[in-house]
Homo-oligomer: A and B are copies of this chain.
């Protein structure tokens, strides 16, 4: 495909479709009490080396994030995160809705990675008791919205700042697979061993139809989550169809294989574009997103040539976001680079 708009414009991997079709035969208990869902819960616990974790499947990333946060912060709480994060600007206030009106406090973050010192300074402002919302959670995005990743040590440092002040730590892992591929660490190292209390473990952007697992490493949050999931309309009666996707996603490492392809395509794309005159990479390319500042003529040229991408709203500059996915072909990457070079007159 020559569509780099987002990893959510992709379809689904054949193995996911096959798994869904296999699951479609015969009766199964509803609402997650079927055997397949039980099996997936165990798989996720094994994957994260967290036998006590509570695991819940939902179908959208917004549901995963907002529900996870809703059991971590009271209505009078505050969630600290990157000021441009998805939960803060792209979910239409879903965390506010599910939490009953909590406040999201946005912090600046170079290349999308929060800075422990900035977080500490924000949390250590003079406290005015009940006049202010109560700091309750930190939310990290892994991979970040800017296409970078948090090294486990950096995440751990941030989590320590948060935990030391009574906050819980949430990780928005819409692109968790891409981060793990890049980091080469275990899922446990990237999450609970680094202080993460709850993870939105995304799969939708990486080859499934639509499924995310919320992993609560703190199992005391499970009961509230279960009620809130139902109440939010996110408990599927035919849960087996979410479970089947996650089952196939984890089976034989499909999730890592898909992410590795997407990351490799992004690296290839970044390398090729960076060599085009007038093009500058805005952020290190560590996952499957490429942000480049380009001449307006180059952007227009690529659009005219039929390539899909987003113009990122950066005042005074022409910045493009290009996203690769599990099914991005090298050929498409190369064609885009060639078109960029041609437009740039290189």
Contact = CB atoms under 8 A, between A and B. Distances in A.
Contacts of A257: none
Interface of A: 1, 3, 5-6, 8-12, 14, 17, 20-21, 23-31, 58-64, 66-67, 74-76, 89-94, 96-104, 125-126, 128-134, 204-205, 209-210, 224, 226-238, 240-241, 308, 313
A308 B29 CA distance: 10
B241 A209 contact: yes
Given A92-B133, A241-B209, A313 B126 contact: yes
A139 B28 CA distance: 30
Nearest to A96: B101
A235 B130 contact: yes
Given A92-B230, A130-B229, A236-B60, A74 B224 contact: yes
26 contacts: A1-B26, A3-B27, A5-B30, A8-B30, A8-B238, A9-B28, A10-B238, A11-B27, A11-B28, A60-B236, A75-B228, A75-B231, A90-B128, A91-B233, A92-B130, A92-B131, A93-B101, A96-B103, A97-B232, A101-B231, A126-B313, A130-B230, A204-B237, A210-B237, A210-B238, A232-B232
A17 to B, nearest CB: 5
B1 A131 contact: no
Contacts of A9: 27-30
A237 B323 CA distance: 15
What 6 A-B pairs have minimum CB-CB distances, sorted nearest first? A63-B233, A96-B101, A8-B237, A3-B27, A11-B24, A76-B227
B132 A90 contact: yes
A321 to B, nearest CB: 13
A12 B232 CA distance: 24
A94 B237 contact: no
Contacts of A99: 101
Contacts of A75: 93, 97, 100, 228, 231
